Amino acid sequence: MAAVPEPPSDGPSPSPSPSPAAPAPAPAPAPAPASPAPPPSPSPSPTLAVKAEAVESPGEGGRPAAGAAGPSPGPGPGPELSERHTLLAVLQFLKKNRFREAEETLRREASVQEALDDALRAAGPRGPDSVHQPDVSSVLSAYSNQGDPSLYEEYYSGLKAFIEAALDALKAELASLLYPVFVHLYLELVYNEHEREARHFFHRYHGDQEGYYQDDLRVLAGLSKKEHMQGNETVLDFRTSKFVLRISRDSYQCLKRHLQERHNNQIWNIVQEHLFIDVFDGMPRSKQQIELTSGGMAGEAKREANKTKVFFGLLKEPEIELPLDDEDEEGENEEGKPKKKKPKKDSLGAKSKKQDPNAPPQNRIPLPELKDSDKLDKIMIMKEATKRVKLGPDCLPSICFYTFLNAYQGLTAVDFTDDSSLIAGGFADSTVRVWSVTPKKLRSVKGATDLSLIDKESEDVLERIMDEKSACEFKMLLGHGGPVYGTSFSPDRNYLLSSSEDGTVRLWSLQTFTCLVGYKGHNYPVWDTQFSPYGYYFISGGHDRVARLWVTDHYQPLRIFSGHLSDVTCTRFHPNSNYVVTGSADRTIRLWDVLNGNCVRILTGHKGPIHSLVFSPNGRYLASGATDGRVLLWDIGHGLLVGELKGHTDTVYALKFSRDGEILASGSMDHTVKMWDTVKAFEDLETDDFSTATGHINLSDNSQELLLGSYLTKSTPVIGLHFTRRNLLLAAGAYNPQ
Amino acid sequence: MAAPKSVPRDAQVMAQILKDMGITEYEPRVINQMLEFTYRYVTTILEDAKIYSSHAKKASVDADDVRLAIQCRMDHSFTSPPPRDFLLEIARQKNQNPLPLIKPYAGPRLPPDRYCLTAPNYKLKSVHKKVTSSAGRITVPRLSVGACVTSRPSTPTLGTPSSQTVAVTAKVGTPASLAGQRFTVQIPSSQATVKPATGISSTTSVQNVLINPSLIGSKNILITTNMVSNPSNTTELNPLKRKHEDDDDYDAS
Q: How far is Cα A325 from Cα A320, in angstroms, rounded to an integer?
A: 14
Q: According to DSSP H, which parts of B56-195 are helical? A: 63-76, 84-96
How many angstroms separate the CA atoms of A643 and A681, rounded? 7
The Cα of A554 is separated from the nearest Cα of chain B by a number of Å equal to 5
Average predicted confidence (pLDDT) for chain A: 78
B99 with A222: Cβ contact below 8 A: no
Q: For A409-449, where are the E strands, in sequence order? A: 411-416, 422-427, 432-436
Element (H, E) at B228: strand B228-229
Task: Return contacts of A74-79, CB within 8 angstroms, 24+ apart.
Answer: A74/A148, A74/A151, A74/A154, A74/A263, A76/A148, A76/A150, A76/A151, A77/A148
C-alpha span between A569 and A651 (Å, rounded) = 13
Report d(CA A472, CA A440) in Å as an integer: 9
Question: What is the length of chain A?
Answer: 738
A481 to B104: CB separation less than 8 angstroms, yes or no: no
CB contact under 8 Å between A135 and B86, yes or no, is: yes
Instruction: Please compute Rg for chain A using Cα positions.
Output: 30
**Which is nearest to B225 in space by CA: B139, B133, B127, B119?**
B139
Q: Cβ–Cβ of A502/B150 closer than 8 Å?
A: yes
CA distance A428 to chain B (A): 15
Interface-testing mutation among A506, A513, A560, with chain B (most B C-beta atoms within 10 A): A560
3-class DSSP state of A182: helix
Q: Is A232 in CB contact (< 8 Å) with chain B? A: yes
With contact defined as beta carbons under 8 Å apart, do A733 and A403 qualify?
yes
Q: Is A242 on the interface with B (CB under 8 A)?
A: no
Taking the model in full, what pTM does it have? 0.70
Angle at which helix A152-165 crosses helix A178-191, to 10 degrees, equals: 180
Rounded Cα distance between A670 and A715, Å, is: 8
Contact (CB<8Å) A236/B116 = no
For chain B, say whether A629 makes contact (Cβ under 8 Å): no
Cβ-defined contact of A449 to B199 (cutoff 8 Å): yes
Stretches in chain A below the pLDDT threshold 50 = 1-79, 114-115, 117-118, 120-138, 324-351
pLDDT (tens digit, 9 = 90+) per residue, A220-255? 888 888 888 877 887 888 877 888 888 888 888 888
Q: B134 vs chain A: nearest CA distance in angstroms?
A: 30
The DSSP 8-state label assigned to residue A640 in this structure reads: E
Distances from the Cα of A313 to the Cα of A402, A504, A562, angstroms: 33, 33, 25
Question: For B199, which residue in chain A has the nearest alpha carbon?
Answer: A449
The DSSP H or E segment spanning A122 is helix A113-123
Residue A299 is predicted with a pLDDT of: 84
- List, in order, residues 6 or more apart from A733 with CB less than 8 Å away: A401, A402, A403, A404, A411, A414, A667, A713, A716, A717, A718, A719, A720
Q: How far is CA A401 from CA A437, A478, A711, in A?
A: 12, 26, 11
Q: What residues of chain A, 10 to 49, have a C-beta less than 8 Å from chain B?
A: 44, 46-47
How many angstroms separate the CA of residue B135 from the nearest CA in chain A? Answer: 32
Residues 439-458 of A with CB under 8 A from B: 447-450, 452
Which residues on A lie below 8 Å from B253 (Cβ)?
none
Q: Which pLDDT tens digits describe chain B residue by residue (253 residues)?
A: 445 568 899 999 999 999 888 888 999 999 999 999 999 999 999 999 999 999 999 889 999 999 999 988 888 888 888 888 899 999 999 999 999 999 888 888 899 988 999 888 888 888 876 554 444 444 454 444 444 434 444 444 443 444 443 334 334 444 444 434 444 444 444 444 434 434 444 444 434 444 444 444 444 444 444 444 444 444 444 445 544 444 444 444 4
pLDDT at B130: 57
ipTM above 0.95, yes or no: no
Q: Is A494 on the interface with B (CB under 8 A)?
A: yes
A524 touches B: beta carbon within 8 Å: yes
What's the rounded Cα separation, in Å, for the pair B61 and B57? 10
Confidence (pLDDT) at A81: 55
**What is the percent of chain A with per-residue pLDDT over 70, rounded to a whole number?**
77
CB contact under 8 A, A553 and B111: yes
CA within 13 Å, CB half, A408: 2
Q: Which residue type does A508 have?
A: W
H-run or E-run covering A538: strand A537-542
Whether residue B239 and residue A546 make contact (CB cut-off 8 A), yes or no, is no
Query: Chain B within 8 Å of A360 (Cβ-Cβ)?
Result: no
